[in-house]
């Protein structure tokens, strides 16, 4: 059973920021209802206050709808909400006109004040929300300016002084502009978070591509020269064979020797690519995690460990670091290597994995992931355990037995 709040921990950082931004826009609607609708009950009779509160509630609901669809439009999930925006314009005009009629024909004093607050307030909130659905600073300024001019023009039925109309229009311009700038900055921040997340994925892909290029260069350096020599000596052997020269046999023997030497060199390159030095992987894990904004703590001693043990644990560090970057949303990660009673224990713990149904992050393709790590550790008699280690924590523990001499040296270094 999922714990309370588990849905939030399952979200990525960009998804969390988007949820926060979306509900911030909805909270503007709640503020509108509380500030304009609910306060009307303290200014006028229950009948008119109910009407004003209902009008404000409808307007706030339309604002929430427009802001949500505009946010989806900004993220490219739906077309521009033109109809919803025009609906907001119509609803704002109807609510404002109704407030003007109530203020004009209703009793003077408190009723006029309550209706006037609703009249100016809905236009301010509408101006702030409408800018979410347009692009470009000029169009945003035009939207806010249009609502400010409209606020001034709708005051003529009230026979308000020109100065009062100008002040009201200026109030809508300033307040609506402030709400617009706040909303646009929130969208900019959300897009920046998504861009950083995309850059993080791109950086990971570039690291993989760079490693493949390195392997390709090494293989080319080994095979390029030897294949050229094989081609030349084979051609020479053909020419000598056509002439009946006995040297052709010697050339073919040389070709065979070079081919066997090439096979050995290729195996060495592949073996070096597959083997992972533990100290190198620990340093790389610290650098990659720090570059991703994760607080990394790497401790342990690797001197005195056999090459096969370092290679197996190096692969564990490499795969665990990749899982932290790809499958989690960690803020802290610790990597610890410690020898204990004839074995060496590697522990990788991070706080970015929520409760999952399996035994850890999903395995990658081609035998990678936890299944591939278990196979590598099994070859040297090791074990691997992975799973939740508390609220929001994930721990991966690898144990590899040490030979007697290596175990004594490792314990002596540790002490």
**Ordered domains of the chain (ranges, CATH):** 6-198 (no CATH), 208-274 (1.20.5), 278-414 (3.30.565.10)
pLDDT score of 409 more than 80? no
pLDDT at residue number 304? 76
For residues 107 and 220, the model is more confident at 220
pLDDT score of 123 more than 80? yes
pLDDT score of 62 more than 90? yes
pLDDT at residue number 197? 81
**CA pair distance 229, 189, nearest whole angstrom:** 59
**CA pair distance 169, 165, nearest whole angstrom:** 6
Please, which residues have CB within 8 angstroms of residue 192's CB and are 6 or more apart in sequence? Answer: none
pLDDT at residue number 65? 92
pLDDT score of 338 more than 60? yes
Mean pLDDT for all residues in the chain: 79
pLDDT at residue number 356? 40
Triad 173, 179, 184: Cα angle to 5° = 115
Task: Tell me if the pTM is above 0.75.
Answer: no
pLDDT score of 358 more than 80? no
Q: What is the pLDDT of residues 177-232, one digit of tens each?
A: 888 888 888 888 888 888 888 887 777 677 767 767 777 777 776 677 778 778 88
Contact 262, 227 (CB under 8 A): yes
> Using 50, 70 and 90 to split pLDDT, how confident is the model at 269?
low
> Using 50, 70 and 90 to split pLDDT, how confident is the model at 359?
very low
> Using 50, 70 and 90 to split pLDDT, how confident is the model at 361?
very low
pLDDT score of 175 more than 90? no
pLDDT score of 266 more than 80? no
For residues 62 and 197, the model is more confident at 62
- Average pLDDT score over residue span 376-405: 84
Contact 352, 408 (CB under 8 A): no
Top mean pLDDT of 3-12, 109-118, 153-162, 241-250 is at: 241-250
- Average pLDDT score over residue span 334-358: 77
pLDDT score of 307 more than 90? no
pLDDT at residue number 346? 92
């Amino acid at each position: 059973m999922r714990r309370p709040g588990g849905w939030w921990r399952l979200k990525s950082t960009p998804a969390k920021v988007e949820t926060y931004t979306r509900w911030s826009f909805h909270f503007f609607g709640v503020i509108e209802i509380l500030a304009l609708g609910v306060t009307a009950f303290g200014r006028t009779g229950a009948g008119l206050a109910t009407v004003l509160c209902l009008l404000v509630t409808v307007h706030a609901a339309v604002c929430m709808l427009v802001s949500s669809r505009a946010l989806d439009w900004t993220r490219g999930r739906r077309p521009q909400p033109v109809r919803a925006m025009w609906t907001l314009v119509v609803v704002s005009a109807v609510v404002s006109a109704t407030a003007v009629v109530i203020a004009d024909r209703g009793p003077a004093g408190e009723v006029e004040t309550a209706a006037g607050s609703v009249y100016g307030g809905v236009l301010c909130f509408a101006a702030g929300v409408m800018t979410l659905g347009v692009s470009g600073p000029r169009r945003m300024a035009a939207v806010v300016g249009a609502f400010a001019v409209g606020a001034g023009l709708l005051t003529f039925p009230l026979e308000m002084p020109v100065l009062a109309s100008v002040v009201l229009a200026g109030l809508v311009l300033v307040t609506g502009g402030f709400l617009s700038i706040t909303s646009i900055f929130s969208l900019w921040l959300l897009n920046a978070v998504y861009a950083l997340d995309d850059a993080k994925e791109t950086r990971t892909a570039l690291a993989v591509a760079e490693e493949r290029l390195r392997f390709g260069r090494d293989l080319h350096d080994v095979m390029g020269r030897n294949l050229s020599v094989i081609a030349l000596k084979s051609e020479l052997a053909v020419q000598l064979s056509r002439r009946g020269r006995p040297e052709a046999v010697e050339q073919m023997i040389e070709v065979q020797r070079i081919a066997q030497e090439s096979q050995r060199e290729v195996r060495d390159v592949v073996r070096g690519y597959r083997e992972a030095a533990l100290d190198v992987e620990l340093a790389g894990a610290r650098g990659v995690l720090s570059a991703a904004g994760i607080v990394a703590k790497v401790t342990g001693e690797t001197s005195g460990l056999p090459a096969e043990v370092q290679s197996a644990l190096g692969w564990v560090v490499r795969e665990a670091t990749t899982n932290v970057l790809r499958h989690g949303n960690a803020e802290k990660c610790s990597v610890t290597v410690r020898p204990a009673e004839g074995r060496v224990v590697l522990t990788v713990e991070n706080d970015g994995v929520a409760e999952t149904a399996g035994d850890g992050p999903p395995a990658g393709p081609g035998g990678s992931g936890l299944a591939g790590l278990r196979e590598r550790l099994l070859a040297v008699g090791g074990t691997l355990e992975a799973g939740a280690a508390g609220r929001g924590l994930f721990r991966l523990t690898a144990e590899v037995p040490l030979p007697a001499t290596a175990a004594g040296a490792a314990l002596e270094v540790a002490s």
